[in-house]
Amino acid sequence: MALPKINAPTYELVIPSSGKKIRYRPFLVKEEKILVIAMESNEIKDIARAVKQVLGNCILTRGIKIDKLSTFDIEYLFLNVRGKSVGESVDIQVTCPDDGVTKVPVTVNLDEIQVIEDPDHTKDIKLDETLTLRMKYPSLDQFIADNFAVGPGFDKSLDMIVSCVDMIFSAEEEWTAADSTPKEMKEFLEQLGSKQFKEVEKFFTTMPKLKHEITVTNPKTKVDNVIPLEGLAAFFN
């Protein structure tokens, strides 16, 4: 006689970058095992792969391609799935900035963590009087490849930008990244002046991110410290 199946509860949330509502379930014991193994490895790539695999299993809405989601979408989705799976709070340790040494245990409520968008952020970067560069958000794979791969820093930065160009357009014409090779796009970007390149870099520095601020008192100095927590890693230690 076959054993009964246990139906997992389902929940809804909105993907930050698109505003699309999706359904998801908590992760199961088999998926928690995947995460534990990845976390024990302390390898960023292993953790990212595990997070994507778990999300792929837990998202019930059809047509959601995990590989196409932005970094901050994946971080936000994972925190919500994790909250419904093992608890709405997470215990972490933070280092007090006032002395840079003292560690304090903190409990963070996951419901309070949101994706924050900088008011100066824009996807369209005006290069000159005629040309505008339109960007798209990096996927988790792109982010990891360009931030943790071995190689010259500037080349990695340029490769990240190339992978995030959506199109170049003017009032009369447009050139899509899909119709260009990475080499061609790289050569185009290498023509930019320093001021133009800084505007492109600003797209990444002001990009929406998972963010939460906590205030902790250093037990040794009695100083109150405001500590920003950014990105999934801050809530994953």
Q: Report the 3 state secondary structure along 4-26.
A: CCCCCCCEEEECCCCCCEEEECC
Cβ 210 vs Cβ 230: under 8 Å = yes
Closest CA to 177 of 162, 197, 160, 199: 162
Indicate the pairing of strand 114-116 with strand 124-126.
unpaired
Q: What is the pLDDT of residue 150?
A: 47
DSSP string, 207-229: S-EEEEEEEEE-TTT--EEEEEE
Q: In which residue are the tokens 């902790």 written?
A: 216
Q: Which of 13-17, 48-52, 113-117, 223-227 has the lowest mean pLDDT?
A: 48-52
Q: Is the pLDDT of residue 217 over 80?
A: yes
Q: Which residues of 6-33 are buried (b: 16+ CB within 10 A; e: fewer)?
A: eeeeebebebbbeeeebebbbbeeebee
pLDDT band of 180, cuts 50, 70, 90: very high
Cβ 134 vs Cβ 168: under 8 Å = yes
What CA–CA distance (Å, rounded) separates 41 from 34? 11
Q: How does pLDDT run across 105-120, given as a tens digit for each residue?
A: 999 888 888 899 899 9
Mean pLDDT of 7-36: 91
Q: Is the pLDDT of residue 32 over 80?
A: yes
Q: How does pLDDT run across 66-92, given as a tens digit for each residue?
A: 888 888 998 899 889 988 988 888 889
Measure CA 178 to chain center. Answer: 23
Q: Is the pLDDT of residue 101 over 90?
A: yes
Average pLDDT, the chain: 87
Q: How does pLDDT run across 1-21, given as a tens digit for each residue?
A: 788 888 889 999 999 988 999
Indicate the pairing of strand 209-217 with strand 103-109.
unpaired
Structure-token pair, residue 185: 């796009």
